[in-house]
Structure 1
Amino acid sequence: MAQITFPDFEYNRPDLDRLENAFQDVLVVLRKAETVNDAIAAVEQIDAIRATVATAYNIGYIRYSINTRDKFYKEEKEWFDTHLPRTEQWRIDYYRALLDSPHRESIELKFGKQLFDSAKVSLNTFRPEILEELQATNKLSSEFTEMRGGAEIELDGKIYNLSSIAPLEQVPDREKRREASTAKWNWFADHRDRLEAIYAEMVQLRTTMAHKLGYDNYVELGYANMNRTDYGPEEVANFRRQIRDHIVPIAQQLYEKQRERLGVDRLRYYDLAFRFPDGNPTPKGSPEEIVAHADKMYRELSEETGDFFRILQERKLMDLEAKDGKAPGGYCTYINEYQTPYIFSNFNGTSHDIDVLTHEFGHAFQVYSSRDQRPMEYNWPTFDAAEIHSMSMEFFTYPWMEGFFKEDTQKYYFSHLSGAFRFLPYGCAVDEFQHCVYENPDLDNAGRNAIWKEMEATYLPHLDYSDNAHLQAGTFWQSQGHIYSVPFYYIDYCLAQICAFQFHLMDEKDHASAWNSYVQLCKAGGSKSFLELVKLAGLENPFEDGVVKKIADRLVDRLEL
């Protein structure tokens, strides 16, 4: 492909009927291949067909995310919500043909066993009987995204969205923090009925799909959808136990120290995002200046990262600043036929702007590093491993933080590391909440909210919502988009955080060795399972008893508890 910029990337709604006919023709070749070379060629042709669909979807989704009010791309997103699920049958038929191929052993030698392990896990994740439920879930997910992207929060005569209100929740004036946070949560309270209804319907749809596919509940199907080939709910439960035992106490000490620093009698929900009495660390300079320093940072970090960041800029593969109508949050996705990632975020003047430039860049650097991996399943690893690249990049870029934060640099280091410790209990709370919900799908809204209150008591006992009736009812979870759109994803951040901590410690000891290991991990893409990639990088398995405590013990002294 020519080196054109993203605004000129061509979007065409895929002709699924034509592509399906082509796919089925190649599938016959794969099934009847007389030689292994014929079988491998068929796999590569199937990759190309699927890449065409993925490319169109991702270009459309990015442009829709940038402006959820764009009529054309909103309609395209709705079209994909309805029609994309049918391509799941293509994937299942393809995987079955791979597993049944008389050339399986030779194909495995060519592409590795991860393709076949993934195929086995995925075989029972789709049948035509669940097509309507998938379509309905997609539409609900889009509705949720549009609700949040279109949020209008009035405060002091001005209108904010969910991204632009965040800086006001971090100002030194406590009363102004309370007003901003209250205004934000009032928006959620005003939309509570619909938010709860959307999730209730999603739970029932996903449960119905699980039952139609022969599962007891959605948990097993959810894990299969996440392509987890070498661990299950028991290992995850044991990991959460380690976080409860060893990280929750550290987090609680951090919250108590924050209360003392701020000089308040009780740490209220509107105090949590405000870390220091003289203000949080904030990036210094305009968005253009921030990107310019990021360019310098990545050129100095390594030749690979410097060249890659220049590509992102020259080809306009980033949309970074918050604006009205833009979907909240941040992500990185991959446009297959152009072999380019894309970074989406919402700069709002907080330290999160820099976290996005490092975190999402880590994702982008990984997928670009493995862009030549085949089959296309190997461009990305599973989410658990993918988050290692992003979270580790946050630490690899520590030496350049002074260029972003100037006099706030030390505050940033403390805030970032303590934030990682504080995140782990929350991530586990989100994960256990989802397990409880999908194991008890007949709960009503009050029952789900009660479960969230239990999770808060277990993992986040510092929370004080006593002057906010909405949050006191156990509704905070309704602000977490992953719970709606990507079930069981959130624990992946926690697993990856323990791995990223290890890269940070390795980097301090021997940067060259740690960086080489990181690049090797990035280039491996999704060619191995989570635990195999952890081993490849020379990291310890976060599921093993004692690993969480050992890593925490090596880092906790830096927090000066």
Structure 2
Amino acid sequence: MHTNHIPARADVPAQDQWSICDLFPSDDAWRSALAQAREFIPRITACRGRLGESGDALLAFFRLNDEVSLAFDALVHYAQRKSDEDTRAAAYQEMVSQVTRLAVELQSAAAFETPELLAIPDEVLARFYQQTPALAGYRLCIDRVRRRRDHVLSDKEEALLAAAGEMAAAPDEIYSMLNDADLTFPDAVDGDGVPHPVTHGTFIPLMQSYDRVLRRAAFDSLYTVYGKFRNTAAATLSAQMKQLLFFANARRYPSTLDAALDGTEVPPAIYHNLIDAVHRSFAPMYRYVALRKKLLGVDELHMYDLYVPVVGGVEMRFTFAEAKEIACKALAPLGEEYLAILREGFENGWIDVYENQGKRSGAYSAGARVHPYVLLNFKGTLDDVFTLVHEMGHAIHSYLSNKTQPTAYQDYVIFVAEVASTCNEALLMEYLLSVTEDKTQRAYLINHFLEQFRGTLYRQTMFAEFELEVNRMTQRGEGTTAEALCALYKRLNEQYFGPDMVIDEQIALEWARIPHFYYDYYVYQYATGYAAAIALSRRILREGAPAVQDYLGFLSGGCSADPITLLRGAGVDMAAPQPIEDATRLFDELLGDMEALLI
């Protein structure tokens, strides 16, 4: 599919689309299932006041929860996937709204769950486990609720917070509509005067062009438009931060960070340790910037020079078929069980491959119970091959957890979400380096590996620091205006990139195009996940079958233990600074390899 041609959804071949019909055969079937799902509400309400009656009553409630979870899973995935196929389609926007409303109604109906679980005396609960052995299957669910006793409110207050859920989701929804559906960008003109369309999907490929005129034009095109909407973007992000603070305060957490991480059983110290460890490792980053400036031969290194490969004369392009073949070879160290699932995903409609008009930007994996769904906007670059193995890492993590764990423990927490994806990327890089003898191509690949470190370990930590500081500003009652956000973001760029980088004025607006700032302290996990993935991939390549077995156990773990424990089982301790320090040392070593090849 040609990069410069963006087709309408109806013109995308069926084999390049995901199999949405595996969820529901039609919109009408979805609507019928939605109507049936509303019947869960009186069934849930009927359990109110009864959880402390007996082990059997408590077991019946948790089994009903499982039933609701499975039914809702299909409903939400169908609506969201259809909406993402074309974000301009009002019918699917409305379906997402309907399923969001249902979620709020279900949460409101079940608001009694936590207070009633907390009200059961320890000795009574112990008797329930003895009298109803099957209840032990939900013991971890119950323990997790009771662990957060200090942050749970009364029955009526919980119902009120649940009812506010739809309103709380508004900033993210508004941002998505602005960013994905409403914003359009003028064409970028290259050095020969040829125009190129600028979209969310084409921006990074344009930034990777060897034509500096085109890179700068695309950079100016994108940020000029964001500049026009800077106040809207700032007000939307400010609303997001205020709703997070509202819920953190309501639940008696000292900060939004404590509130966000408590849900995933991650100590806040891990967040701060990440930022501190990366701050101690700015020297390799500054060395990288200086090397990039030297290799590109420019008097000034600008932000639009960050993505172009520093190795000239190499432009690696791949068809989607070639990308799938490379993925299979690169992930072979994970064993035949893993490869069989990978091939099933490739062959049975898990993936929506190419960009189309109105399609959601970027890439993701959504772990539906029927099978995962992977959204790509494949352009044929080396980055796109990495994105494919990255998202299939998520997908296979979801597939194995869904297949292995009971319904209550299938969803893994976000702290471990990026580990499987980035482990796949690390294995892909090791494979590509192992089969590449050409000196220039090796340098090109090492450049790509260095970019992963820059983009994941350093950049995502900078995002995490920005998010933390904006939340702190909100908590202190300071204005999070466009000017304040831009000043903060520019200062962080200066700190992270060092003296050899020109921090262009436009980059101060980059925060306005990052959807992850609406994900409530998500981005830091890209960095911690990357450090864990580097450690795991090296163990797999070094030790073989025993390490693979441990790793598959981790992928099959869902949320059957806290994330730090699950990762320890796979052989990495994220409570220690060592994985981050080891990763930054590897980054420094790769810089040495790059210098040896090219200088």
1:57 and 2:102 aligned: no
In structure 2, C-alpha distance between the alignment counterparts of 1:27 and 1:517, rounded to whole Å: 42
1:456–1:535 distance in 2 versus 1, CA, 3 Å: same
In structure 1, C-alpha distance between the alignment counterparts of 2:44 and 2:510, rounded to whole Å: 44
1:249 and 2:277 aligned: no
The equivalent residue for 2:275 is 240
In structure 1, C-alpha distance between the alignment counterparts of 2:285 and 2:272, rounded to whole Å: 19
Structure 2 gaps, min length 5: 1-17, 25-29, 190-194
Further displaced range: 258-267 or 87-96: 87-96
Q: In the TM superposition, what is the alpha-carbon distance from 1:64 to its structure 2 partner?
A: 0.8
1:448–1:180 distance in 2 versus 1, CA, 3 Å: closer
The equivalent residue for 1:229 is 265
1:116 and 2:139 aligned: no
In structure 1, C-alpha distance between the alignment counterparts of 2:234 and 2:327, rounded to whole Å: 40
Q: Counterpart of 1:163 in structure 2: which amino acid?
A: G
CA deviations 1:345-367 (Å, max 9, x no partner) are 21123222112211111111111
Further displaced range: 160-169 or 415-424: 415-424
1:88 and 2:107 aligned: yes
Further displaced range: 260-269 or 345-354: 345-354
**How many residues end up aligned between the 2 structures?**
544
Match of 1:6 among 10, 15, 20: 20
In structure 2, C-alpha distance between the alignment counterparts of 1:413 and 1:431, rounded to whole Å: 27
The equivalent residue for 2:515 is 481
In structure 2, C-alpha distance between the alignment counterparts of 1:296 and 1:383, rounded to whole Å: 28
In structure 1, C-alpha distance between the alignment counterparts of 2:466 and 2:164, rounded to whole Å: 22
Q: Secondary structure at the match of 1:343?
A: strand
In structure 2, C-alpha distance between the alignment counterparts of 1:416 and 1:22, rounded to whole Å: 54
Q: In the TM superposition, what is the alpha-carbon distance from 1:430 to its structure 2 partner?
A: 1.5
The equivalent residue for 2:496 is 459
2:486, 2:509 within 8 Å by CA — same for their partners in 1?
Answer: yes
2:301, 2:502 within 8 Å by CA — same for their partners in 1?
Answer: no
2:352, 2:375 within 8 Å by CA — same for their partners in 1?
Answer: yes
In structure 2, C-alpha distance between the alignment counterparts of 1:114 and 1:559, rounded to whole Å: 46
In structure 2, C-alpha distance between the alignment counterparts of 1:470 and 1:430, rounded to whole Å: 17
Q: Counterpart of 1:256 in structure 2: which amino acid?
A: A
The equivalent residue for 2:316 is 282
In structure 2, C-alpha distance between the alignment counterparts of 1:86 and 1:295, rounded to whole Å: 44
Q: Counterpart of 1:220 in structure 2: which amino acid?
A: D
Further displaced range: 445-454 or 164-173: 445-454
In structure 2, C-alpha distance between the alignment counterparts of 1:53 and 1:321, rounded to whole Å: 28
Match of 1:344 among 347, 366, 375: 375
1:428–1:300 distance in 2 versus 1, CA, 3 Å: closer
The equivalent residue for 1:396 is 427
The equivalent residue for 1:372 is 403
The equivalent residue for 1:267 is 301
CA deviations 1:176-207 (Å, max 9, x no partner) are 21112211222212222221121122222332
1:39, 1:103 within 8 Å by CA — same for their partners in 2?
Answer: no
Task: Give aligned-pair identity as a percent.
Answer: 17
The equivalent residue for 2:13 is none
1:421–1:399 distance in 2 versus 1, CA, 3 Å: closer
1:33–1:545 distance in 2 versus 1, CA, 3 Å: same
Q: Which structure 2 residues correspond to residues 78-227 of structure 1 after superposition, within 5 A? A: 78-89=97-108, 92-100=111-119, 102-103=124-125, 106=129, 109-111=136-138, 113=140, 116-117=143-144, 120-121=147-148, 124=152, 127-131=158-162, 133-150=164-181, 151-155=183-187, 156=189, 157-224=195-262, 227=263
The equivalent residue for 1:557 is 589
1:433, 1:452 within 8 Å by CA — same for their partners in 2?
Answer: yes
The equivalent residue for 2:542 is 509
The equivalent residue for 1:495 is 528
Q: In the TM superposition, what is the alpha-carbon distance from 1:322 to its structure 2 partner?
A: 1.6
Match of 2:573 among 529, 536, 540: 540
1:188–1:377 distance in 2 versus 1, CA, 3 Å: farther
The equivalent residue for 2:3 is none
In structure 2, C-alpha distance between the alignment counterparts of 1:462 and 1:48, rounded to whole Å: 57
In structure 1, C-alpha distance between the alignment counterparts of 2:243 and 2:73, rounded to whole Å: 24
Match of 2:461 among 428, 437, 440: 428
Q: Counterpart of 1:382 in structure 2: which amino acid?
A: V
Q: In the TM superposition, what is the alpha-carbon distance from 1:113 to its structure 2 partner?
A: 3.3
The equivalent residue for 1:24 is 45
In structure 2, C-alpha distance between the alignment counterparts of 1:279 and 1:147, rounded to whole Å: 38
Q: In the TM superposition, what is the alpha-carbon distance from 1:110 to its structure 2 partner?
A: 3.0
Q: In the TM superposition, what is the alpha-carbon distance from 1:267 to its structure 2 partner?
A: 1.1
CA deviations 1:407-448 (Å, max 9, x no partner) are 785245413431232132222222122222222213231223
The equivalent residue for 1:66 is 85
Q: Counterpart of 2:449 in structure 1: which amino acid?
A: L
In structure 1, C-alpha distance between the alignment counterparts of 2:325 and 2:429, rounded to whole Å: 17
In structure 2, C-alpha distance between the alignment counterparts of 1:462 and 1:345, rounded to whole Å: 36
Q: In the TM superposition, what is the alpha-carbon distance from 1:536 to its structure 2 partner?
A: 0.8
1:456–1:398 distance in 2 versus 1, CA, 3 Å: closer
Q: Secondary structure at the match of 1:321?
A: coil
1:27–1:299 distance in 2 versus 1, CA, 3 Å: farther
Further displaced range: 72-81 or 404-413: 404-413
In structure 2, C-alpha distance between the alignment counterparts of 1:274 and 1:118, rounded to whole Å: 49
1:210, 1:216 within 8 Å by CA — same for their partners in 2?
Answer: yes
In structure 1, C-alpha distance between the alignment counterparts of 2:491 and 2:572, rounded to whole Å: 33
1:469–1:432 distance in 2 versus 1, CA, 3 Å: closer
1:308–1:29 distance in 2 versus 1, CA, 3 Å: farther
Q: Secondary structure at the match of 1:332?
A: strand
Q: Secondary structure at the match of 1:346?
A: coil
CA deviations 1:229-286 (Å, max 9, x no partner) are 2412x3321221111102x2212211211111101122101100112241665333x2
1:108, 1:116 within 8 Å by CA — same for their partners in 2?
Answer: no
2:278, 2:458 within 8 Å by CA — same for their partners in 1?
Answer: yes
The equivalent residue for 1:358 is 389
In structure 1, C-alpha distance between the alignment counterparts of 2:22 and 2:264, rounded to whole Å: 37
1:310 and 2:343 aligned: yes
Q: Counterpart of 1:53 in structure 2: which amino acid?
A: F
In structure 2, C-alpha distance between the alignment counterparts of 1:168 and 1:464, rounded to whole Å: 20
Further displaced range: 54-63 or 373-382: 373-382
1:280–1:147 distance in 2 versus 1, CA, 3 Å: farther
The equivalent residue for 2:562 is 529
Q: Secondary structure at the match of 2:376?
A: strand
In structure 1, C-alpha distance between the alignment counterparts of 2:51 and 2:581, rounded to whole Å: 49
1:94–1:518 distance in 2 versus 1, CA, 3 Å: same
Q: Secondary structure at the match of 1:208?
A: helix
Q: Secondary structure at the match of 1:14?
A: helix
TM-score by length of 2: 0.82
Q: In the TM superposition, what is the alpha-carbon distance from 1:133 to its structure 2 partner?
A: 4.7
Q: In the TM superposition, what is the alpha-carbon distance from 1:29 to its structure 2 partner?
A: 6.1
Match of 2:356 among 298, 323, 329: 323
In structure 1, C-alpha distance between the alignment counterparts of 2:437 and 2:87, rounded to whole Å: 36
The equivalent residue for 1:33 is 54
1:452, 1:477 within 8 Å by CA — same for their partners in 2?
Answer: yes
2:108, 2:162 within 8 Å by CA — same for their partners in 1?
Answer: no
In structure 1, C-alpha distance between the alignment counterparts of 2:142 and 2:286, rounded to whole Å: 42
1:333, 1:343 within 8 Å by CA — same for their partners in 2?
Answer: yes
In structure 2, C-alpha distance between the alignment counterparts of 1:238 and 1:309, rounded to whole Å: 35
In structure 2, C-alpha distance between the alignment counterparts of 1:305 and 1:208, rounded to whole Å: 43
Further displaced range: 423-432 or 119-128: 119-128
CA deviations 1:208-235 (Å, max 9, x no partner) are 33333344543333334xx232412x33
1:45 and 2:78 aligned: no
Which of 1 and 2 has greater Rg?
A: 2
